Amino acid sequence: MPSPAHSFSWDDALRVSLQEYSQDNPSNLSGFFERVKLCNRGSELQSEFLPFFVGSDIAGYIHYRFANHLRDFPDVFIFSQDDSRGSGSGGHVSLCPSLRTPDDRTKAVASVVEYLAEALIPGIRKELYPVKSSFDSPILFSLERAAAPYFGIKVYGVHMNGYAERNGEEFLWIGKRSHEKSTFPGMLDHLVAGGLPHDIACGENIIKECEEEAGIPRTISRRAIPVGAVSYMDIDGVRFKRDVLFCYDLKLPQDFTPNNQDGEVESFKLIPVPQVVNIIRRTNFFKPNCSLVIIDFLFRHGYIKPEYDGYLDLLRSLKSGDCS
């Protein structure tokens, strides 16, 4: 497996995509399973996290070491050893019940996050994510995006596979992330993807991101169709990601070329799907969660077949997280 993942060029990726590996067999799904695993680390460490309640709703999960820093803010966070709420480790964290409205909670938590940011929460983005116990439930409060994994809240995103058909063959538009990005610099990416802020619907967000990330006009992007969702659950140290990605497909006109507007993408290439498959199976070049959404595309477009050993296991694994 070529590595390290972040220091490769398009040439490296294309070389892998075209090379024939004698040990490769399309029915061997192990490369895909490795990519899924990379998004679902540390499930054996769940007991190190305390449920984080807002009222009677579970808003997230907080690592006991990170939680210790929150004990300095008793006006915001309350700790309990009471086991009645189902925490195996016998404790949980709650927001103070005196913080009654989402607004009150947002401000109170923001002040704590601001205080802890320098030492503990790198990469503050000044971007708020809604905190909910599930997608359809009411917003409990809003939280700085960079702090989300420290509170283990559910985060929702939209990811779009942009593809084109030429001579009956399917191609995927693949982006290479700018080296200036704070997260996953230089890695391969979808044509369009983004987190879901609290004030915008999925479909509208896709259209907005299409414009910003790939210069796709609304006349085209409104044809993007929602095709399902994937989910994962990733524990990395004190961080717990519980992400659900809404997946979209957009079939682009043959003559369309994407054009990044916001500087977040270095460049795009149109790559035949079987070559994308090779990159996914053999490398960690893709931003990890993009692999899941591309594997979902491969399932829906018939590239992964029931005859391949592990078909149902791989299909299920695309929703390894709480997909709610």
Q: Which position among 225, 236, 254, 261 is part of the footprint of its own copies (CB under 8 A)?
A: 225
Interface with its own copies, residue 58, by CB under 8 A: no
Using CB under 8 A as the binding rule, the residues of this chain from 2 to 41 that contact its own copies are: none
Structure token digits, residue 307: 């005859």
SS (H, E, C) 2-17: CCCHHHCCHHHHHHHH
Q: Residue 226 interacts with its own copies (CB under 8 A)?
A: yes
> Per CB under 8 A, which region of 35-43, 82-90, 208-216, 222-230 contacts its own copies?
222-230
CB of 313 to its own copies, least distance (A): 7
- Residue 177 φ then ψ, to 5°: -65, 145
* 202 counts as binding its own copies under rule CB under 8 A: yes
Q: Which amino acid is at 308?
A: Y
Query: Phi and psi of 204, rounded to 5°?
Result: -70, -35
Q: Which two tokens stand for residue 259?
A: 């054009």
Nearer to its own copies, 120 or 225 (CB): 225
Provide, rounded to whole angstroms, the least separation between the CB of residue 121 and its own copies.
Answer: 28
Residue of 15, 37, 85, 305 interacting with its own copies (CB under 8 A): 305
Query: By C-beta, is 102 or 310 nearer to its own copies?
Result: 310
- 3-state secondary structure at position 158: strand
Residue 231 has a CB neighbour count (10 Å cut-off) of 21
The stretches of 121-272 forming alpha helices (DSSP H) are: 148-151, 202-214, 218-221
Nearer to its own copies, 64 or 299 (CB): 299
Q: What is the DSSP letter of 129?
A: E
Rounded Cα gap, residues 270 and 122, in angstroms: 34
Amino acid at the residue 275: Q
Q: Does residue 4 have a cis bond before it (omega within 30 degrees)?
A: yes
Over the window 114 to 143, marking each residue x when it contacts its own copies by CB under 8 A and - when it does not, the resulting string is --------------------xxx-------
Selected binder of its own copies within 66, 246, 285, 286 (CB under 8 A): 246
- Pairing type for strands 92-95 and 49-54 reads parallel
Q: Which residue, 4 or 168, is less far from its own copies as judged by CB?
A: 168
Cα-to-chain-centroid distance, residue 201: 17
Determine the Cα–Cα distance for residues 97 and 105; give it in Å rounded to an integer: 10
Closer to its own copies by Cβ: residue 31 or 157? 157
Question: What is the Cα 208 distance to its own chain's centre?
Answer: 18
Binding segment (CB under 8 A) for its own copies, from list 124-132, 185-193, 227-235, 278-286: 227-235
Euclidean distance between CA atoms 35 and 283, whole angstroms: 9
251 counts as binding its own copies under rule CB under 8 A: no
Closest CB to its own copies among 91 and 228?
228
> Which stretch in 44-52, 72-80, 287-295, 314-322 sits in contact with its own copies by CB under 8 A?
314-322
Q: Does 233 bind its own copies (CB under 8 A)?
A: no
Smallest separation (angstroms) from its own copies to the CB of 244: 7
**What residues line the site for its own copies (CB under 8 A)?**
134-136, 201-203, 225-229, 244, 246, 249, 299-302, 304-307, 309-313, 315-316, 319, 323-324
